[in-house]
Each structure stands twice: as structure tokens, then as C-alpha cells.
Amino acid sequence: MGPRFVIDLFGFEIPDTVPVSLALTLITLVLAWVASRRLRVADPRAWQVALETGVSWIHETLERILGEDPRPYAPLVGGLMLWIALCNLLSVMPMLRPPTADLSTTVALALVVLFAVPAFGIRRHGLLGYLRTYIRPHPLLLPFNLIGEATRTLALAVRLFGNSMSSQMIAAVLLIVAGLIVPIPLMMLGLLTGFVQAYIFGILAAIYIAAAVQVDQKRVAEREPASSPTPTP
């Protein structure tokens, strides 16, 4: 589906998803800033309980995947989940196109994960330690590991774009053919699918991060039983 509107700025045509993405990001930042200054230790309000429940769920999910303290990674993964879910919420507004229905947006999100994964890996193992992961278990696997990095980034972008675009196209076609009776339940199903896609995107990002930061720990754990001394009676 094409853009709902295009902004002509200094000879450049800016599609609708760009200002919508910027506005959504700004709104999210403002709400986060306001909420962080209204938190209360005693007698929390309902919205604070809901917020803390969501944050705790993200931390618990990441801890199960990473097997360690999830706090360094929760802002990135949780932020991606929240932003993608909010983008998919816009699918119920006929005058706006969700940013995730634009391939450029999903590619940008996938690139965030692409650069974040080695950043976490380098912070944990150092530059040389992380680069060695591309030649394990054998240097001949270097090109395949590099191809794997590129393909999983492409898969993240295309999966999210495909689901968002398909739900928009189906809803538009049914709106023309059947009016409002059929598209409303379909849009509710599309919202559920959008939330699932946000969850899947975040979980895949967490899995890639876990593979980058834990590779040496796994090798040490494999060597420990063989290298540990046998106790003498």
C-alpha cells in the first residue's frame, strides 16, 4: 500500500511513515518522562502497577533467555517491543499507515538489532574475543557466519513488514467489498497479530544478544567437567 500523504521538503519527498514515526517516538518519550516522575513507593496508582507488571514481565522473560541479569538489555528489547506494538495499534486508524507497514522502517529496526548485538558482544568479550566467534568452530565457517548475520537481519525486517502490510491490505479490500461489518473483527485480529509480532521481534533480538554475550561462557562450562581435578580419597 502506498503512503497516505507525502511531505515535500526542500525537494525531497518524505513519506507519511517518517513524521508518524517521529511523532510516535516523541509521544512515547514524553509519556515515559512524565510517568517516571510520578512513580510512588507507597500506594501506587493503577497505571503504575500495570507499568511495573509489564517491566517485570520483560525482565523475567529476558532472564529466562539470557540466564543472567537482564537489566543491561531490557531497555533495548523492551523499547523495541513497546514501539512496534504502538505502531501496530495505528492499523485501526484509517487515515494513518503504521510505520511497520513501510519496509524502510522495519529495515531500520532490524539494523538496530544488527548493530546492538555486536556492541553487547564486544562489551562482554572485547573486540578480538567477539570477532573470534565468527571463526568458531572452524575458520572455514567465517563466510557462513557472516551470511547468517545478514540473513537473520533480513528475516527480522521482512517478517515484520510482511505481517503489517498484509493485515492492512486485507482490511482495505474487505472494507471496500463488505463495508464495516467484516473489517472490524478482522482489525481486532490484526491488532492481536501486531502484538504477537512485537513480542516475536523482541524475543528474537534477545536470542541474538544471548548468543553474542554467552558464547565464551558456554565453552568454559563445557571444559569445566574435563578440567576439574578428580578428588582423592
pLDDT in tens, 152-169: 888 888 888 887 777 666
Write down the pLDDT at residue 229. Answer: 46
CA–CA separation, 165 vs 187, rounded Å? 13
Write down the pLDDT at residue 162. Answer: 81
Q: What is the residue-averaged pLDDT of the chain?
A: 80
Write down the pLDDT at residue 120. Answer: 92
Contacts 24+ apart (CB under 8 A), 87-91: 87/21, 87/24, 87/164, 87/194, 88/164, 88/190, 88/191, 88/193, 88/194, 88/195, 88/197, 88/198, 89/191, 89/194, 90/20, 90/24, 91/164, 91/167, 91/168, 91/171, 91/187, 91/190, 91/191, 91/194
* Residue-wise pLDDT tens digits, 74-103: 999 999 999 999 888 887 776 778 888 888
The pTM score is 0.80
* CA trace torsion 105, 111, 116, 121 (10° rounding): 160
**Percent residues over pLDDT 70 in the chain:** 79
Q: Which three cell numbers stand for residue 209?
A: 544478544
Confidence of residue 191 (pLDDT cuts 50, 70, 90): confident
Arithmetic mean of pLDDT, 181-208: 80
Which residue bears the cell 510517568?
A: 35
Write down the pLDDT at residue 113. Answer: 92
